[in-house]
């Protein structure tokens, strides 16, 4: 991950981090991030190794299964090992949800810690820095999402987004940004069974689902030569495993705009659908020419990826979803995916903006 920061940030950005942050040598076993607590600093690992783990409460049957297999009472499961250049403590900048992971030093390590408030002020005051910072965070989060999927398996990992993507997007963008999206986006009707995005294929546009439904799947056997041979003989596509179903308001193809990576999943229309397509060329030019739009766009992508990553871990049963155990909601309990008032206000505004966009595009 070292190359991500060096590639995305400028020399002046790095100089500011060095001047603002302070280097700390931490002993093995030191906790940098604890679940449920807001990090007071952004940490950049300079030397050493950090581990990321998720808590598994003993009431979870999946936990008991792992414990039985491994022959001990494991309450935390390691999900990642971080090396030089990795960043932790980014959650407060891209999500209102408290972290559900524990980050700990696996050996004596050296980190650079940048106080959260000073970084927040810098992001507010320096739009160029904000654009580069959120792009770097988005790239790192995209890698973590893929690593989590690969490590924990594909089954039911991305089911059921708690809020439509477009509500996060339109809650962060300005009205002028949305005007541009409407002006340069093209409304397209997609017949049922049409493949919009193919796994490991080029992505031509950023897509917003305006009406209908899409299926997200992954081909688990695409590297199997025998599977490919039979599929070619039969003239059929290799069957994939469905991971999620997308509804109105979902965004597709966004990760292609952070570092040009090819999609790891296939998106296909389940029914006749309507999408808004913003061409890759037009969007790339806008991101290059309008630094304000760029900073807001990359922040949106980082927010979406953060939500998906935390959602994956939560839906596997590792989070603090008290109400999922059949208990009544309690006003005195702060639930993991509970939204605060400011976020709810932005969501309400975003919903009105989305309805306004649908009206302008004459989509029922």
Cα–Cα distance for residue pair 212/128, rounded to 1 Å: 37
Q: What pLDDT score does 349 carry?
A: 79
Confidence of residue 10 (pLDDT cuts 50, 70, 90): very high
Q: Give the global pTM.
A: 0.79
pLDDT score, position 318: 46
Does the fold of domain 165-360 match that of domain 2-125?
yes
The secondary structure of residue 327, as a DSSP letter, is P
Q: Which of 282 and 80 is assigned the larger pLDDT?
A: 282
CATH (one of 2.60.120.10, 3.90.1150.10, 3.40.640.10, 2.130.10.10) for 2-125 = 2.60.120.10
**Predicted pLDDT at 237:** 54
Please state which CATH number belongs to domain 165-360.
2.60.120.10
Mean pLDDT of all residues in the chain?
A: 80
- The pLDDT assigned to 20 comes to 96
The pLDDT assigned to 354 comes to 81
Q: Within its chain, how far is the Cα of 211 from the centroid?
A: 23
So what's the pLDDT on residue 63? 55
Query: Where do the structural domains in the chain lie, given as residue ranges?
Result: 2-125, 165-360
The band of 336, judged by pLDDT with boundaries at 50, 70 and 90, is very low
Query: Of 79-93, 301-315, 331-345, where does the model show the most confidence?
Result: 79-93
Which pLDDT value is given to residue 77? Answer: 77
Question: Which two tokens mark 238?
Answer: 């290799």
Distance CA 146, CA 281 (A): 26
- CA dist., res. 131 & res. 120, Å (int): 13
- Which pLDDT tens digit goes with each residue over 22-68? 999 999 999 999 888 878 899 999 999 999 988 765 545 555 565 56
pLDDT band at 272 (very low <50, low <70, confident <90, very high): very high
**Percent share of the chain, pLDDT over 90:** 42
Indicate whether 333 pLDDT > 50. Answer: no
pLDDT at 332 over 60: no
pLDDT, tens digit (0-9, with 9 covering 90-100), for 145-197: 887 777 655 544 444 444 567 777 888 899 999 999 999 999 999 999 999 99
321-328: average pLDDT: 44
- Predicted confidence band at 315 (pLDDT cuts at 50, 70, 90)? low
Structure tokens at 300: 């949106």
pLDDT of residue 23: 95
Count other C-beta atoms under 10 Å from residue 87's C-beta.
Answer: 21
Q: When comparing pLDDT for 63 and 138, which is higher? A: 138
- Looking at residues 326-344, what average pLDDT do you find? 49
Angle between helices 165-172 and 291-313 (to 10 degrees): 150
Q: What is the pLDDT of residue 110?
A: 96
Q: Which two tokens stand for residue 344?
A: 């709810």
Which residues have a Cβ under 8 Å from the Cβ of 75 and sit 6 or more positions away?
55, 56, 57, 58, 63
Closest CA to 254 of 174, 148, 343, 169: 169
């Amino acid at each position: 991950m070292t190359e991500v920061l060096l590639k995305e940030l400028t020399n002046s950005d790095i100089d500011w981090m060095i001047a603002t942050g302070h280097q700390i040598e931490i002993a093995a076993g030191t906790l940098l991030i604890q679940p449920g607590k807001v990090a007071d600093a952004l940490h950049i690992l300079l030397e050493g190794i950090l581990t990321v783990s998720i808590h598994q409460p003993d009431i979870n049957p999946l936990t008991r299964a792992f414990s039985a297999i491994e022959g001990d009472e494991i309450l935390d499961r390691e999900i990642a090992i971080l090396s030089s250049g990795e960043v932790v403590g980014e959650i407060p900048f891209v999500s209102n949800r408290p972290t559900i992971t524990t980050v700990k030093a696996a050996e004596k390590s050296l980190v650079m810690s940048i106080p959260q408030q000073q970084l927040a002020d810098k992001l507010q005051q320096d739009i160029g820095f904000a654009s580069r910072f959120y792009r770097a965070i988005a790239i790192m989060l995209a890698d973590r999402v893929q690593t989590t999927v690969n490590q924990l398996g594909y089954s039911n990992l991305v089911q059921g987004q708690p809020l439509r993507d477009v509500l996060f997007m339109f809650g962060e963008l300005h009205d002028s940004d949305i005007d541009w999206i409407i002006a340069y986006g093209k409304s397209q009707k997609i017949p049922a069974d049409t493949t919009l995005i193919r796994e490991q294929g080029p992505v031509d546009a950023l897509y917003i689902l305006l009406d209908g439904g899409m299926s997200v799947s992954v081909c688990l056997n695409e590297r199997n030569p025998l599977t490919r041979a039979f599929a070619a003989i039969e003239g059929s596509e290799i069957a994939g495993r469905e991971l999620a179903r997308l509804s109105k308001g979902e965004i597709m193809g966004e990760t292609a705009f952070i570092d040009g990576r090819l999609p790891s999943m296939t998106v296909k229309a389940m029914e006749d659908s309507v999408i808004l397509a913003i061409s890759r060329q037009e969007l790339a030019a806008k991101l290059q020419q309008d630094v304000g739009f760029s900073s807001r766009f990359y922040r949106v992508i980082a927010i979406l990826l953060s939500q998906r990553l935390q959602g994956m871990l939560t839906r596997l049963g590792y989070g603090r979803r008290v109400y999922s155990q059949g208990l009544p909601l309690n006003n005195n309990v702060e639930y993991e995916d509970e939204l605060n008032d400011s976020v709810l206000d932005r969501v309400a505004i975003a919903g009105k903006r989305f309805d306004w966009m649908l009206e302008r595009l004459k989509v029922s």
